[in-house]
Amino acid sequence: MKNSEDLHKRVYDMLGHEEKCYVIKHFKEENILTSTIYDIIKRYENGIPFHEKPRPGRPSCLSTREQKNICNAEHKIGASQRKLARKLDVL
């Protein structure tokens, strides 16, 4: 994600100073797909910011406290997964 966000930022910066045909030529020389460049230019023209918004994902079934307990318990020697699951009520 970080790499694509950097590319978006570079294209946006160049579009603010240079003509569109020059920007396309410049990034084609860097071996970036033409379709990618055109998609970024379209986003720029529609006024969409270059940074990615956080995307929704599946919510965690465990609370942060339960996640920390599991992480701390994982590193104990001799801890079986079944005992940990019963103890932390994660079945």
- Indicate yes or no: pTM above 0.85: no
Q: Each residue of 31-82: pLDDT tens digit?
A: 999 999 999 999 888 988 877 777 788 877 778 887 777 777 666 667 777 7
Q: How confident is the model at residue 1 (pLDDT cuts 50, 70, 90)?
A: very low
Query: Does the structure show a pLDDT above 80 at 9?
Result: yes
pLDDT at 56: 83
Residue 27: burial class (beta carbons within 10 Å; 0-12, 13-18, 19+): buried
Nearest to residue 79, comparing CAs of 69, 65, 64?
69
Residue 23: burial class (beta carbons within 10 Å; 0-12, 13-18, 19+): buried
Q: What is the mean pLDDT of residues 80-86?
A: 76
